[in-house]
Amino acid sequence: KECLVQDLTSNSNSNAEMQKVINVIDRCGCVVTLLKNSEFSEKDVELDLTKLLGDDLALSLPQKYSKLSMGACNALIGYLQLLSEQDQVGKYELVEHKLKEFMTLDASAIKALNLFPQGPQNPFGSNNLAVSGFTSAGNSGKVTSLFQLLNHCKTNAGVRLLNEWLKQPLTNIDEINKRHDLVDYLIDQIELRQMLTSEYLPMIPDIRRLTKKLNKRGNLEDVLKIYQFSKRIPEIVQVFTSFLEDDSPTEPVNELVRSVWLAHLSHHVKPLYKL
């Protein structure tokens, strides 16, 4: 994790407050990167967003969001050098995350609730859990946190998702019930769950990491991993479909599985057929 912060160290009046902010970010296990004040200017950010998004939606953003948020967006665009990647121009999407749907837990609350194992390698539930020594209870010797108790994930993506769920609990009762119904479905379908955990999930690569590598300096081996993964998705869809056909097709949970899992898998796998 990394946080871009406006560099106010040249202003002696702001040094004390600046250090407090840096200390808070540091305690959350987040790297602090200081940028020049000019990087946080909202000037021309609408034009840059228009290029990245490929439409004129960005022109209405200043009326919807504050100058502070637009300035922060400009700093991100410059720091990540998004405009320098000409082949990616026009391919970005702007997604609004509704934070009201999640409970906000600060580092102190996460520590007090003992959600994650404590230690210098993993302060307050770092996102590095997927590759750290705390990915399972067996690795650490004994269960000392809720994360270790619940973590039976077979992929790094699953570990990251569990990490996010624990740090951002849902507040929407309908979404909570949907999540519980999907988990109940996999608990009840023992044969399906065993097939997924033993035959399919161990074969799934770390897609997020591979995507980052491909955007920078990916090699042929990374492309091969994506290709092999794309060939497994239709098999997973077929496995789910066969189990759903054996059950009552009108069951609410079956419809939920189709809409939440199968529909998305089928939609996203189509572009991969071109590989």
Q: Tens digit of pLDDT for each residue in 15-30?
A: 888 888 888 888 877 8
SS3 content of the chain, % helix, strand, coil (to 5): 65, 5, 30
Query: Between residues 229 and 146, which one has the greater pLDDT?
Result: 146
Question: In terms of domains, do 71 and 113 share one?
Answer: no
Q: What is the pLDDT of residue 126?
A: 45
| Reported confidence tier of residue 191, pLDDT bands at 50, 70, 90 | very high
Give me the CATH number covering residue 9: 3.30.420.110
Q: Which residue in 259, 185, 268, 184 sits closest to 229, CA to CA?
A: 268
| Reported confidence tier of residue 119, pLDDT bands at 50, 70, 90 | low
pLDDT in tens, 50-99: 888 877 665 566 567 788 888 999 999 999 888 887 777 787 887 777 78
Question: In terms of domains, do 211 and 227 share one?
Answer: yes
Question: In terms of domains, do 16 and 37 share one?
Answer: yes
Q: Which amino acid is at 25?
A: I
| Reported confidence tier of residue 212, pLDDT bands at 50, 70, 90 | confident
Name the DSSP letter for residue 170.
B
The total number of structural domains that make up the chain? 3
* Backbone phi, psi, residue 34, to 5°: -90, 135
Taking the mean position of all CA atoms in its chain, how far away is CA 206?
12
Question: In terms of domains, do 74 and 139 share one?
Answer: no
Give me the CATH number covering residue 228: 1.10.1420.10
Q: What is the pLDDT of residue 131?
A: 41
CA separation for the pair 4, 198 (Å, rounded): 41
Question: 64, 88, 112: which is the final residue of a domain?
Answer: 88
pLDDT at residue 121 greater than cutoff 50? no
Question: 34, 63, 88: which is the final residue of a domain?
Answer: 88
Lowest average pLDDT, out of 78-87, 120-129, 201-210, goes to 120-129
93 falls within a domain = no
Question: In terms of domains, do 126 and 195 share one?
Answer: no
Q: What is the pLDDT of residue 134?
A: 47
Structural domain containing residue 25 = 2-88
Q: Which residue in 53, 47, 48 sits closest to 83, CA to CA?
A: 48
Q: What is the pLDDT of residue 259?
A: 92
Q: What is the pLDDT of residue 187?
A: 92
84 falls within a domain = yes
Lowest average pLDDT, out of 11-15, 164-168, 175-179, 189-193, goes to 11-15
Question: In terms of domains, do 212 and 163 share one?
Answer: no
CA separation for the pair 183, 186 (Å, rounded): 5
215 falls within a domain = yes
Q: Three-state DSSP class for 153? A: coil
Question: In terms of domains, do 69 and 131 share one?
Answer: no
Q: What is the pLDDT of residue 61?
A: 63
97 falls within a domain = no
31 falls within a domain = yes
95 falls within a domain = no
Question: In terms of domains, do 75 and 120 share one?
Answer: no
Question: In terms of domains, do 227 and 269 share one?
Answer: yes
Question: In terms of domains, do 65 and 110 share one?
Answer: no
